[in-house]
Amino acid sequence: MGPGTFTCGACGGTFPRGWTDEEAAAEALAAFSPGELLTEAVGVVCDDCWQAMRREMPDLDARYQ
């Protein structure tokens, strides 16, 4: 999608985009199985929510290679 803003799928805040939708989707596919994406994904999240998710799910960092 390019420049602009996005709405965080977790907190609902609006933030400037740091990358394209395609780049965000590629990162999600690298970290989660398709089943997890369908049942657990909240969409694109802001950095604060991402850091909170990392604290709440200790195995999250292990999903990234």
Q: CA–CA separation, 53 vs 47, rounded Å?
A: 10
Give the count of domains, the chain.
Answer: 1
Full-prediction pTM beyond 0.75?
no
Q: CA dihedral defined by 20, 21, 22, 26, rounded to 10 degrees?
A: 110
Query: Looking at the chain, how many residues does it have?
Result: 65
CB of 52 closer than 8 Å to CB of 20: no
* pLDDT by 10s per residue, the chain, length 65: 346 898 998 899 999 988 887 887 787 777 777 666 655 556 778 999 989 988 888 887 776 65
Parent domain of 15: 5-63
